[in-house]
Structure 1
Amino acid sequence: MNKPAAAPPPPGVDHFFSFPGARADRWRALHAAARGWEQGDAAPAEVREAFDELLPSEAFFAYPGRGLLESLRKRIEGGQAGAAAALARRVSEAILTRSYKTDPADWQSAEIAAEAPADLNTPTLARGQGHRPYFEMLLVAPGAGSRGENLITQIRRLRRPEDAFIYEPVPVGSFEEAICAILLNPAIAAVTLYEGFGHESPSELPLLREFLVSAGFDAGHVAGADLPLSLAAAVKRIRPELDLYLLSDRHVERIAGDPRAAGIRRVLYAVEELLELHLCVLEGVGERFRTPFFDNLKKYAMRPISTFHALPIARGKSVFKSDWIRDMGEFYGLNIFLAESSATTGGLDSLLEPTGNIREAQAMAARAFGADHVFFVTNGTSTSNKMVHQALVAPGDIVLLDRNCHKSHHYGLVLAGGQPLYIDAFPMTEYSMYGAVPLASIKKALLDLRAEGRLDRAKMVDLTNCTFDGHIYNTRRVMEECLAIKPDLIFLWDEAWFGFARWSPFLRPRTAMGAAEAIAGWMRDPASVTAYEAQQAELGEDPTEAALMQARLIPDPRRIRLRVYQTNSTHKSMSALRQGSMLLVRDVDFAEVEAQFHEAVFTHASTSPNQQLIASLDVARRQMELEGYGLVANAIEIALDIRKEVNAHPVISKYFRVLGADEMIPAEYRQTGFEDFLRPGVSWTDQVRSMHEDEFCLDPTRMTLVCGTAGFDGTQFKKLMADEYDIQFNKTSRNSVLLQSNINNTRSDVANLIRVLLEISNGLEADLAGGGETGRASFAGRVKSLMTDVPDLPNFSEFHEAFRWDAGKTTPEGDMRSAFYSAYYAEGCEYLPLDSPEVDQRLKDGPAMISANFVIPYPPGFPIMVPGQVISAETIDFMRKLDVKEIHGFERARGLKLIRPDNARDHIRK
């Protein structure tokens, strides 16, 4: 008896993210099969199978289009091996090189040329001279399968030589196919909806249907009568940057006035407005393409200007007329000097008080990133963080702060006078790093403040999302549960490494702005009040702390003051120059703090900001709005490819591995049980559910590569890769390095990395094989010292009572500012060598050792001591076991810098 065929395994997480690269691979596979058929090395059936495999998804792309696909099918079915191979090669190369965006010949075949009118053979006919950006517009229309070519023809006839852009329509006939198209085709920049389309696709789309169900876009959740508006809402949830147009032959005025149509750029009467649609589409893309500051700077650079201000390098004369520094001009080019000025007049604008093109560029960035306001910052996100602290935190305010966050937050509190209430992240002792701060720790700190009657002093929760090592918070849940305890808390999310996430529908909900938007929508829903009151009835009038800790707290939507700030190092994940940063604001009370916010800008921003940095921030916004979705998807694909190739390679995986989510995040914070992106049996549904529900997720673009198992510490391996192989990494730990894929990486980069890791691994194999027992024992000892004999990570101890002032009895906040400045007086400080017996004696018998400054070892890169902190035995033990060369705030020759005990007693008396 024959057994039934086994069901295919569920699609892996990488199946979706690898689609752009997989599409090109499938076309190359078809070309290889056709070439083999032509040469007699392959059967026609192999070519037909390869063609059938790629055919279903090609409907979601304008190129090669139905005409070329039909020509290829005819050649295959007609036994024309050579002709099929030639056309497959041409299409494959055009997709790989993207030449079809500029070369009209890529769109033609002999059959199309013979059968179509001459003026419609070439989609790019009206391109004219010079390059015009290319994009695609999704057309969702009933019967698109039968009338798609007619729709394409109508759109092409509207083209004019003066059009700023060239675009191709992609016609589909259903809700499901529309979602497929915007997910799979990053070239789509606009969507036009014709009324009358259905929900389900006639094609089999198992992976995408799985996504639709998990995201609530399936037929069970979408109302048929309002399908166009439902689709518009779904498109905006997935890709909010896309322009939407609705063509209707009924009451367009009524539709335009429907609140649900707010995301639609224009509602048009379908019978008479096709040209108007064409012009609207071009205008919409042109609005995103416009870069007010950069466009103006280019015009400024071309003007014949005489400069009598304090910037000799402007216009470049001092450089190009020099016998000694002309090489700098030749290296950078003329434009960078023509675009320099210290003036803020003559068409330029002031970053400190923008009223013109900088103000407009910041407003466009706010729209793109989902914020109410955006500030451009040219001193890096360190400055952005300090601006927020100075603007919002007053002396004595309590700030709940991740002890392991970037040093700019600690220094920001020193400057502002806020009192840090440090909360520790979960430790990853094996890899000498910390993760993120558990929500339970944050809630406990707030409830402790409330129990002591000090909750009114709590001003802000300040966290890093994602962390250096890729830990992503459930930002919405953190904010909602904190607001349930204190409805007016301010949140500062340092997303220095995570700015790109806005352009991924899977990561966006976990960004600060994405979560703030979701909370704002929830607050407007009457069901939010019902949910809050139901929980209050369940908890009772005076719930215990244990009950509050256990519950998934729901805030009162009527009392929430939604105040969210997000800082992005734009230069870290987008195409901005180094130190380019953006500060994003979504604060309902911003009008009340705007004046002091501008004071913070005046305090920290340079009065001579770099024009090129401002321009790069403007351009970075443009790029991400128009192609960020595809760029981020490619970055994720690159990262998943690296994970797969390293961990599955039979030789490389002996010595190196990329850590999975199960190794980076303890099981208690992965409530869904999600283990890793590429773990066998893990499906797309698992990943989506994890992103929705788990307390912490892992950013797929950040990869912790363990090198200690190869006998290298992180610093040593980073130096080896940079010096010997020209491969650069960012962060290191005791036994790992951090790899980060970004929008700049290609598959060639992956191939080079794998080649180098294999070369190193083969070298280790040879050394171990020829080194005998002594060599193998030495290698094993080195690995043990790096992977097993690791020091425990020290948690924050406490502030000394001298710097606790009016702090509560159980809450650990302290006045770090007083401690910081008390160390400015040499007579109030002392030094103790780290290994001196006196250190051990004072740990045992006192008096307490009080840190006079920040001590920050690199790695791991977080302060293990802050001013005013009592130094604990575990901190000393950690420092003594450290084998890193770079420790900020510690001079080994002089020892620990401490506040003298008598100086501390003076503070107590004061």
Structure 2
Amino acid sequence: MVKGRETENRQQRIDHFFSMPAARADRWRDLTAIANDWSAGAANRSSVEAALSALGAIEEYHAFPGRRLMSKLAERLHAGSAESFAELARRLSRSVVTRQYKHDSADWRSDDSAAASENAFVETLESGGSRRPYFEMLLVTPEAAMRSSLTDEMRRLRRPEDAFIYEAVQVASFEDAISAAIINPAIAAVTIYEGFAQKSLHDAQTLRNFLGATGFGSPEVGERDRPLALANALKRIRPELDIYLLSDRRVEAVAGDPRAAAVRRVLYSVEELLELHLTVMEGIAARFRTPFFDNLKKYAMRPISTFHALPIARGKSVLKSDWIRDMGEFYGLNLLLAESSATTGGLDSLLEPTGNIKQAQDMAARAFGADRVFFVTNGTSTSNKMVHQALVAPGDIVILDRNCHKSHHYGLVLAGGQPLYVEAFPMTEYSMYGAVPLASVKKALLDLKDEGRLDRVKMVDLTNCTFDGHIYNTRRVMEECLAIKPDLIFLWDEAWFGFARFSPFLRTRTAMGAAAEIESWMRDPKSVEDYERQQAGLGKSPSRETLLATRLIPDPRQIRLRVYQTNSTHKSMSALRQGSMILVKDVDYFTVESQFREAVFTHASTSPNQQLIASLDVARRQMELEGYGLVANAIEIALAIRREVNSHPLISKYFKVLGADAMIPAEFRSSGFVDFLHPGVTWVDQVRSMHEDEFCLDPTRMTLVCGTAGFDGTEFKGLLANTYDIQLNKTSRNSVLLQSNINNTRSDIAHLIRVLLEICHGIETQLAQGGEAGRAAFDKRVKSLMHDVPELPNFSRFHQTFRGDAGKKTPEGDMRTAFYGGYNPAACEYVPLNSEACDRRLKDGPEMVSANFVIPYPPGFPIMVPGQVITGETIDFMRKLDVKEIHGYERTKGLKLIKPQIVAAKTVR
């Protein structure tokens, strides 16, 4: 009976590996609680056996507690030693939960640790200090080697001078290696021996379905090909891993195999292990190194006299002051010592990097899968403007999401590009927009092609993911657009999505991840066959309807892959505020390099903040070495919040976190995916959705509906911040956005749930005390927020005066002329929003033409842009908005318009 339960639990645990590491910690706590009950006589041994078996095969994929300590635990269980079992279980559980074993050698001891090999291990763990960074190395070996003393041999190679310390995790099959890499975020390196098996001994059908859905797995291959197949599969899942291959064949031939590009180094397995040990250490050191931060720390330690224009450097003006000494005490001495306006003496220039900043940017390019990276210290607003100025010339057409961040609109004003706005699908019930359907982008391109103006299109500019979590199928968007215009440039604003690089489930939806897949596809001879087969099926003159309905395949021989991604590193990684990166994968970058440099000179400060640059350098280090586990934890936290809110009997009565079915129309979810926690849904379904659907939902972004509790978004945001010390930023008319990130812990979940429960109890009390009148008032408020919502206005059109040389079918316009026309007071007028004059103009004319951007917050998208004709739809939306902040609108004056006579005379300056 126990054996059957153990098999069942083991299968469940190995199949459901996406709840790690939180679920692992929970199972250890459960084991401890039951062991304590057994020791106290309140539980029997069979319940302890069940709890221990629940840990199952998962523990095989972690170095701690390891086989030795797990065997000790099992021995005490079978001997019926309740007290000693409970004591060891408590110690192991505490170490797993706190991760203390990474630094304390005592946690690796058993009570009777007399074995020489164990003592040697403890000594090597203790040597060189207890706070060396700890990681784990996956050893994929044949079954025979599993029984060897390979782990002990590698422990004996440790030296006090080693900068890092590691433990080995041994598995004997392809499937177990994949499982270990996914389950255990502490794995930072992989060593593959030849001769291992293909299939796991565990019954893990969900794992196999997952590998099939993602393509991460490998078909049954021969033993000789299996090591390189595994290396490539692991690299696709976790590209940051260092992979080493030990072979007893002709290693020079193995190293020359094209598939060996995934392997950092090929070693001859007959040679001693010291070479492997040193190589592993060198690999970790290569990722650990932070060129700029390392040099900045050295610079701060030097006794430097400054005669440049930065008094705060070295801190004397602060620390010797009678009036601002508290600033130095608050921020600390190192902040001041690390300040300088010099770019020599071990530092570098952000504008012309040739030393450690360039090295740091090159390392970031490696980490994020780009050809090159530029650090930006003025935020992603500046990054977007740099890209626009570098790549867009006056008169170029840019297909642009009308609801994107304002920096894109302003960037086109500065560059003189003409925006052709495409609309996102509306989510009227929640007063927000989703993402732009691919059909809208293709239609714009085909319209331009029909008018013979396709050559004027320079760029497609989209936000991925959107503020509310909508993720594009980036590969499909780029491929289908390139099928129409092979040299299009793509700018993907991934300000909120930079972390996704370090999740195998989200990476494919990033700009760089998709670009890498397209590159790989282009190199495959089958790509030409795919293209020519589709062309033959389409015929010589396919109709527009056919082209819009077909998933177009580009000609791989004609593609010029030009992809740019802006990344607000500070929004999802451990960088200081305004730390941003521009990621570039552009085969024609050499043709724009000089103008890109000019754009950097134009927008970057000549006094960039040293601490920001250092934080970008360090953020890269962290994500390469532990980003996989941090992102997995952020996803787990988000799923826990969704589950607790939507399943709690009282909280779910007034609040809910919207699922994919509410956030994405069914027409864009061809896989049929409903939501992460829908009954019967597994991560296999989510992965399939990520690969197939036009839009997916970022699991870390949660739209919490608060209108059903009687709160508008701004009001609820204020309540959480002012009363409960819970901060968030984005709101809509009836919702707020919760974001989990690498900073969150399970304590944050508990606090949020407790606060929501307290608020719900307050609502219940008010309704009970208010009687029928109170209930009626509450229902009226909910109806106003959830049902009496304003229609979302689409972009109307540019006035003909600001259409420039635009064609008849396409709606692009000359926004730049209208924008600067608004600088002339004599050319502008103001019309109050809630006035008869406004209503009369809407009815009888002349048309009202906006002189500036008008951006209500929330929802945060521009409802008016310079040169746009203002319609009744837009006015109705503005009048129904109950928000305090509308950028570009002066309540005391009204709407800023370009005077009708100026528009008619076409003399805007």
Give me the TM-score of the superposition, normalised by structure 2: 0.98
Q: Which aligned segments of 4 or more residues in structure 1 are displaced greater than 4 angstroms? A: 7-15, 221-224
Partner of 2:43: 42
Q: Is the 8 A contact 1:669 1:694 kept in 2?
A: yes
Residues 751-800 of structure 1, C-alpha deviations (whole Å, 9 max, x = no match):
00000000000110111111100000000000000000000000000000
- Aligned to 1:262, the other structure's residue is in SS state helix
Q: Percent identity?
A: 74
State the Cα distance separating 1:318 from its structure 2 match. Answer: 0.5
1:120 aligns with 2:120: yes
Number of the residue aligned with 1:382: 381
1:13 and 1:677 in contact (8 A); partners too: no
Amino acid of the structure 1 residue aligned with 2:417: G
Contact 2:422 2:436 in 1 (8 A): yes
> 1:1-80 counterparts in 2 under 5 A?
15-80=16-81
Distance 2:661 2:648 in 1: 20
Give the Cα–Cα distance (whole angstroms) in 2 for the partners of residues 635 and 117 of structure 1. Answer: 38
Distance of 2:695 and 2:117 partners within structure 1 = 57
Displacement, 1:60?
0.4
User: What SS is found at the alignment partner of 2:679?
Assistant: coil
Native 8 Å contact 2:146 2:172 kept in 1:
no
1:462-501 pair list within 5 angstroms: 462-501=461-500
Cα displacement string for residues 862-893 of structure 1 (whole angstroms, at most 9, x for unaligned residues): 10000000001100110111110100000111
Tell me the CA shift for residue 110 of structure 1: 2.3
Greater Cα offset, 124-133 or 848-857: 124-133
Rate the CA distance shift 1:10–1:684 in 2: closer, same or farther, 3 A.
Answer: farther
Distance (Å, rounded) in 2 between the aligned partners of 1:14 and 1:332: 47
In 2: Cα distance, 1:13 partner to 1:719 partner: 43
> Which residue is 1:730 aligned to?
729
CA drift of 1:223 comes to 5.1
Which residue type is aligned with residue 439 of structure 2? A
CA–CA distance in structure 2, aligned partners of residues 815 and 221 of structure 1: 58
In 1, distance between residues paired with 2:473 and 2:91? 46
- Residue aligned with 1:138, SS: strand
Residue 756 of structure 1 aligns to a residue in which SS?
helix
- Equivalent AA in structure 1 for residue 125 of structure 2: L
Q: How far 1:126 sits from its partner (Å)?
A: 4.9
C-alpha displacement of 1:125: 3.0
CA distance in 1, matches of 2:713, 2:749: 20
Task: State the Cα distance separating 1:9 from its structure 2 match.
Answer: 15
Whether contact under 8 Å (2:818, 2:908) holds in the other structure is no
Structure 1 Cα separation of the partners of residues 328 and 703 of structure 2? 40
The question of whether the paired residues in 2 share the 8 Å contact of 1:718 and 1:737 is answered with yes
- More displaced 10-residue stretch of structure 1: 202-211 or 671-680: 202-211
**Match for 1:35: what amino acid?**
N
Superposed, 1:321-332 pairs within 5 Å as: 321-332=320-331
Q: What is the TM-score normalised by the length of structure 1?
A: 0.98
Return the letter of the residue paired with 2:760: S
| Corresponding residue number in structure 2 for 1:719 | 718
Residue 807 (1) aligns with residue 806 (2):
yes
Distance 1:168 1:11 in 2: 27
Query: Which position in structure 1 is the counterpart of 2:880?
Result: 881
- Asked whether the 8 Å contact 1:126–1:159 carries over to 2, the reply is no
How many angstroms does 1:115 deviate by? 3.4
Q: Do 1:102 and 1:124's aligned partners in 2 also have CA atoms closer than 8 Å?
A: no
Q: Which amino acid aligns with 2:490?
A: F
Deviations 1:696-752 (A, max 9, x none): 000000000000000000000000000000001120000000000000000000000
Q: Name the CA distance, whole Å, in 2 between partners of 1:227 and 1:235.
A: 12
- Which residue of 1 is the match for residue 139 of structure 2? 139
CA 9–823 in structure 1, closer or farther in 2 if over 3 Å, else same: farther
Give yes or no for the alignment of 1:291 onto 2:290: yes
Amino acid at match of 1:482: C
Deviation digits for residues 77-108 of structure 1 (CA, Å, limit 9, x no counterpart): 00000000000000000001111000001001
Distance 2:198 2:662 in 1: 41
Task: Kindly provide the CA deviation profile for residues 293-325 of structure 1, in whole angstroms up to 9, marking residues without a partner as x.
Answer: 000000000000000000000000011101100
- Contact 1:136/1:169, CA 8 A, preserved across alignment: yes
The letter of the residue matching 2:328 is G
1:534-613 matches, cutoff 5 A: 534-613=533-612
Alpha-carbon separation, structure 1, partners of 2:378 and 2:362: 20
User: Following superposition of structure 1 onto structure 2, how do residues 369-448 of structure 1 map, counting pairs within 5 Å?
Assistant: 369-448=368-447
Q: Does 1:302 align with 2:330?
A: no
The separation in 1 between residues aligned to 2:424 and 2:221, in whole angstroms, is 41
- Cα distance in 2 for partners of 1:118, 1:859 equals 61
Amino acid at match of 2:108: W
Please give the secondary structure, in 2, of the residue aligned with 1:122.
Answer: helix
Check whether the contact 2:502–2:627 (CA below 8 A) recurs between aligned residues. Answer: yes
- CA distance in 2 between counterparts of 1:811 and 1:145 reads 67
2:115 counterpart letter in structure 1: E
Cross-structure match for 2:365:
366
Gaps of 5+ in 1: none
Q: Is the Cα contact below 8 Å between 2:830 and 2:894 reproduced in 1?
A: yes
Answer whether contact 1:144 1:173 (CA < 8 A) is retained: no
Equivalent position of 1:226 in the other structure: 225
Residues 444-482 of structure 1: CA deviation (Å, up to 9, x unaligned): 000000000000000000000000000000000000000
Q: In structure 1, what residue type is equivalent to 2:559?
A: I
Asked if structure 2 preserves the Cα contact closer than 8 Å seen for 1:144 and 1:172, the reply is: no
Aligned to 1:781: 780
Q: Which amino acid aligns with 2:57?
A: P
Residue 168 of structure 1 aligns with an amino acid whose one-letter code is: E
Q: Match of 1:82? A: 83
Q: Within 2, Cα distance between the matches of 1:568 and 1:219? A: 33
1:621 maps to a residue whose letter is R
Aligned partner of 2:627 in structure 1 is 628
How far is 1:681 from its partner? 1.2
**Conservation of the 8 A alpha-carbon contact between 2:705 and 2:734:** yes
Contact 2:218 2:233 (C-alpha < 8 Å) held by counterparts: no
Name the CA distance, whole Å, in 1 between partners of 2:264 and 2:73: 38
Could you give the per-residue CA deviations for residues 541-588 of structure 1, whole angstroms, max 9, x where no partner exists?
111111100100000000000000000000000000000000000000
Q: Give the distance between the partners of 1:691 and 1:144, measured in 2 at CA.
A: 39
Q: Structure 1: how far apart are the matches of 2:522 and 2:217? A: 25
Residues 127 and 10 of structure 1: CA distance in aligned 2, closer, same or farther (over 3 Å)? closer
- Closer, same or farther: CA 374–308 of 1 in aligned 2, 3 Å: same
Q: Per the alignment, do residues 451 and 801 of structure 1 end up closer, same or farther by CA in structure 2, a change over 3 Å counting?
A: same
Taking a change above 3 Å as real, the CA distance of residues 10 and 887 of structure 1, as seen in their structure-2 partners, is farther
2: CA distance between counterparts of 1:72 and 1:380? Answer: 52
Contact 1:13–1:687 under 8 Å retained in 2: no
Does the CA contact (< 8 Å) of 2:502 and 2:631 recur in 1? yes
Deviations 1:5-62 (A, max 9, x none): 9x99998999433220110111111111111000000000011111111131111000
- Asked if the contact 2:564/2:582 (under 8 Å) is kept, the reply is yes
Structure 1 SS opposite 2:80:
coil
Q: Quote how far apart the aligned CAs of 1:443 are.
A: 0.3
Give how far 1:381 is off. 0.1
CA contact (8 A) 1:856 1:863 kept: yes
Aligned in 2, Cα 1:488/1:10: closer, same or farther, shift over 3 Å?
A: farther
Aligned to 2:750: 751
List per-residue Cα deviations over 1:645-695 (Å, max 9, x = no partner).
000000000000000000000010011110000000112221111000000
When structure 1 is superposed on structure 2, of 342-351 and 201-210 the one drifting more is: 201-210
Distance 2:613 2:330 in 1: 21
Measure, in 1, the Cα distance between the counterparts of 2:817 and 2:504.
45
Name the SS for the 1:59 alignment partner.
helix
Tell me how far 1:908 sits from its aligned partner.
6.9
Change (3 A) 1:12 1:472: farther
Taking only aligned residues, the RMSD between alpha carbons, in angstroms, comes to: 1.7
2:137 aligned partner, one-letter code: M
Cα distance change of structure 1 residues 117 and 443 upon mapping to structure 2, 3 Å threshold = closer
What is the number of equivalent residue pairs in this alignment?
Answer: 903
